[in-house]
Chain A
Amino acid sequence: MSDQIRIGVFVCDCGSNIAGYVDVKALAEYAKTLPNVVYVKENLYTCSESGINEIKAAIREQSLNRVVVASCTPRTHEPLFRGTCEEAGLNPYLFEMVNIRDQCSWVHMQERESGTNKAKDLIRMGVAKAALLEPQESIKSEMDPNALVMGGGISGMTAALALANRGYQVYLVEKQAQLGGLLLQLDTLGPSGVDAAAFAASQAELVRNHPRIRLMTSTQVKDISGYIGHFKVTTASDGKEEQFGVGVVIVATGAQILKPHGLFGYDGERVITQLELEARFKRGTFSAGNVVMIQCAGARIEERKYCSRICCMVALKNAIQIKETHPGTGVRVLYRDIQAYGTENEEMYRRARELGVIFINYDVNVPPKVHGEKVTVTHQLLGRELDLPADLVVLSTPLIAGEDNEAISKLLRVSLDENKFFLEGHVKLKPLDFATDGVYLCGNAHYPATVREAISQALGAASRASIPLAKGVMTVEPIVSTLVDEDACRGCGLCVALCPYGALEIVRTEKGRKVRVIPVACKGCGVCAATCYQHALSINSYTDRQIAEQISACLESSG
Chain B
Amino acid sequence: MQYTTDARIIRIMCTGRVDPTMISDAFLKGADGVMVVGCHFGDCHYITGNYQGKIKVGIAARALDYVGLNPKRVFFGQCSSAEGERFVKMVTDFDKDIREIGPLGTGDRLPPPQLHEKIEVAHTALAKEKIRWVVGKFTEFTTKGNKYGERFTEHEMWRTLDTIVMDEVATYEIMRELNRGPVSVKTLSSRLKLPSAHVLKYVLALQRRGFAELAGIEGTSPLYRIARQQVDAA
Contact = CB atoms under 8 A, between A and B. Distances in A.
Interface centre among B2, B3, B49, B140 (most CB of A within 10 A): B49
Nearest to B129: A533
A548 B22 contact: yes
Contact of B127 (A106, A114, A535): A535
A501 interface: yes
A410 B132 CA distance: 29
Interface in A495-514: 495, 497-498, 500-501
A551 interface: yes
Given A525-B17, A529-B19, A530-B18, A122 B49 contact: no
A125 B45 contact: no
A117 interface: yes
B65 interface: no
A546 to B, nearest CB: 10
Interface string A536-559: 000100101001101110110000
Interface stretch (B23-31, B113-121, B171-179): B23-31
Contacts of B128: 533
B47 A417 contact: no
Nearest to B80: A415
B12 A547 contact: yes
Interface centre among A109, A410, A555 (most CB of B within 10 A): A555
A52 interface: no
Contacts of B127: 533, 535
Given A107-B3, A108-B5, A551-B26, A530 B19 contact: yes
A347 interface: no
Contacts of B140: 497
Contacts of B52: 498, 527, 530-531
A494 interface: yes
Nearest to A103: B9
A522 to B, nearest CB: 11
A417 B133 CA distance: 37
Contacts of B14: 525-527
A533 B19 CA distance: 10
B42 interface: yes
Given A529-B19, A531-B136, A548 B5 contact: no
A526 B12 contact: yes
Contact of A74 (B11, B18, B31): B11
Contact of B46 (A410, A495, A523): A523
Given A109-B2, A533-B133, 16 more contacts: A117-B5, A413-B45, A415-B80, A498-B48, A525-B14, A526-B18, A527-B14, A527-B46, A530-B18, A531-B52, A533-B128, A548-B22, A551-B22, A551-B31, A554-B29, A555-B31
Interface of B: 1-3, 5-6, 8-14, 16-20, 22, 25-26, 29-31, 42-43, 45-49, 52-53, 56, 80, 82, 88, 127-129, 132-133, 135-137, 139-140
16 contacts: A74-B11, A110-B2, A118-B5, A118-B8, A410-B42, A415-B43, A418-B82, A494-B133, A498-B136, A501-B47, A524-B13, A525-B16, A525-B49, A526-B49, A550-B10, A551-B31
Interface of A: 74, 99, 103, 106-111, 114-115, 117-118, 121-122, 125, 410, 413, 415, 417-418, 423, 435-436, 479, 494-495, 497-498, 500-501, 523-527, 529-535, 539, 542, 544, 547-548, 550-552, 554-555
